[in-house]
Amino acid sequence: MNERAETAAQLASADTPLVLQRVLFAGPTPDTDADLYATIAGGGDRTRTSVHARHGATIDTDTYFGRVPAPYFERWTTVTSVDLTFDFETTGRAHAVVRGCDSDGQVHVVARLELEGAGAVTSTVPLDRYSDGGSLWVGFIADDGDLTISDAVWSTTAPHRIRAAAVAICTFNRPADCVATLTALASDQLTRERLTAVYVVDQGTDAVCDEPGFDQTSAALGERLTYIRQPNLGGAGGFTRGISEAVAHEEDLDLILMDDDIRCEPETPLRLAAFASVTPDPTIVGAQMLYLMNPTRLHVGAEYADLHTLRAGRWAKNALHDADMLTRRQDRPADAGYNGWWTCLLPAEVITALGLPLPMFFQWDDIEYGIRAAGTAGVQTVTLPGAAVWHMDFSRKDNDDWTMYFSIRNSLITAALHSDLDVKSLSTRMFREISQHIVAMQYGLAYTMIRGIEDFLTGPDILADGGRTALVDIRRERAAFGETVMHRESDVPGVNYRELPVHPAGFEPAKDRFDVVLAKRAATQLAGRVVRGCVAIPPTDAHWWHVSLFDQAVVADASGNGVRLRTRDTGLARTLGARNLKVRWAFRADAANVRKAFQAALPTLTSPANWQRLFTTE
């Protein structure tokens, strides 16, 4: 262990408490819905760490951020009990009630604590009945006087050695968002003191260091902050640079990766680091994602990737999906296959055992790493309820952009490395999906997918420059397809968008008839037997089997940033159809050998030497 690691790791005495999570009564910013933290009935005032309840009022932390995910501690850590500690002051009688629930949501009282005058209270709760599910939380009742609660925490006895924790943020041309995240970390005293280092890897041309507020935040973080500029190597390259820098300075480390465009809850790094400190084996601990545009809704409780269908973001058994966390509990534990790197903790031992991420540039790098951790080293990923950040809703992102190239290419690389790669099934599935895009007049998207498959088939050499050439090429090539261009509603070429008839979709064809309908749509399009003129189609109705009925359609983008004009082009459809068929047969012929090539190249691709070459190549 190097000198910095010796000073960063902390030795704890036998009775030192480890705070697992604070009982917070409000969010980090005034616009955060406080009911995600605590509810107040009967009148009261709150700050982040204290609450004042008036006579007769009730405070309840049976909330998203208020509950202790007891089954996760019982199942994946060495914790056998937790201590609730808080300060109180009351002008009359009051009491606190510790409650729990089981996997079916049935609530029971764990302890009742009478409060009178002022003082501090500690209540110990055994974790011996939550392996199947449930939660713990506390409520406070001001019976016949005012009641103030402050500095409430859930804790346990600290392990002998508390590991260092650091944060690495990858950013590209989001300086305001990045500074906001840094400010959130710096403004919370406990978080700031817990972190030994914060690495910012800036790959953009709009430098974070020039953003207003950066100097103040940098001063607050002091020597903890390391700011790095490098060429754009995508999220994979940015995070890998942060990983490389962190483990070079601290070998006994838990590193928390963070996106630049999140709204940060500074409590979350504390909860991730605390949980990781009490796991018996090195464990990847991930935060959940709440939607930025719908901030009380949970993206998914835990997720996995289906490599047989190349689909990520499948919600795990027992996991909630798109759920309103003001009304739902996560009572049953869910097993994650990976965790997105919007915020995710990687222990240094895992990095040492696995090597670095693949130089995929963007998309699936976090997924591949989580799958590799489980398959190669037996490392569990735990997505921890009550630890979350806010991130842009995925439903607000349209898939018709250059990122689809990396998604299809990198999902194939991941499947080649970590599955049996059912070549026949995958070739049929991809051929069908590309054909659907062609009949939907998404010619650029079809082309993008074909290019991703073609480049996968070239083998590991496609990753030689970390994806920089592929990014430039696919963005340039997509520009040749008119429907890839986003327009303002008032500026659609040759069309008055506001006067177009709106055509919602009819009934969806039966799944077992999709291929028949697809063939018919292709034939009628090539023959010109479509509805003439231009129509408007909402994004929720832009299914391939509906859009393909028309000669021209203006489709609103799912992001809400504009519209796209899709125009039938039979010549382009024939060209792409032929290329789609060609790549299908090439995939069937070559994919097995390409799979072996990627497996053989994995140690070299993920080596520090390869990444150092990429970091220093302009």
Give the residue numbers marked as catalytic: 366
Helix (H, G, I), strand (E, B) or coil at 443: helix
3-state secondary structure 287-331: EEEEECCCCCEEEECCEEEECCCCEEEEECCCCCEEEECCCCCCC
CB 313 within 8 A of CB 412: no
Q: How many CB atoms lie within 10 A of CB 602?
A: 19
Helix (H, G, I), strand (E, B) or coil at 407: helix
Quote the tokens at residue 258.
């963070």
* Axis crossing angle, helix 443-457 with helix 423-439, rounded to the nearest 10: 160
Quote the tokens at residue 16.
């030192």
Reported in sequence order, the residue ranges of 325-483 that DSSP labels E, i.e. its strands, are 343-347, 381-391
Quote the tokens at residue 416.
């080649």
Residue 360 main-chain phi, psi, to 5 deg:
-85, -10
Q: 602: closest CA among 459, 458, 420, 470? A: 459
Q: How many CB atoms lie within 10 A of CB 241?
A: 23
Helix (H, G, I), strand (E, B) or coil at 68: strand
Quote the tokens at residue 600.
């053989």
CB 462 within 8 A of CB 456: yes
Quote the tokens at residue 218.
């940098």
Q: CB-hemisphere CA count at 13 Å for 334?
A: 25
DSSP state of 414: H
Q: 241: closest CA among 160, 339, 359? A: 359
Q: Which residue has the tokens 């110990």?
A: 124
Q: 468: closest CA among 191, 230, 123, 170? A: 230
Give the C-alpha separation, 77 to 73, whole Å.
Answer: 5
Cβ neighbours of residue 219 closer than 8 Å, sequence gap 6 or more: none
DSSP state of 227: E
Report which secondary-structure segment, H or E, holds 107.
strand 107-115
For every residue of 69-93, DSSP letters joined together read -HHHHHHHSS--EEEEEEEEEESS-
Report which secondary-structure segment, H or E, holds 595.
helix 570-605
CB 102 within 8 A of CB 110: no
Give the C-alpha separation, 401 to 485, whole Å.
Answer: 9
401-429 b/e (C-beta count within 10 Å ≥ 16 → b) = bbbbbbbbbbbbbbbbbbbebebeebbee
CB 101 within 8 A of CB 303: no
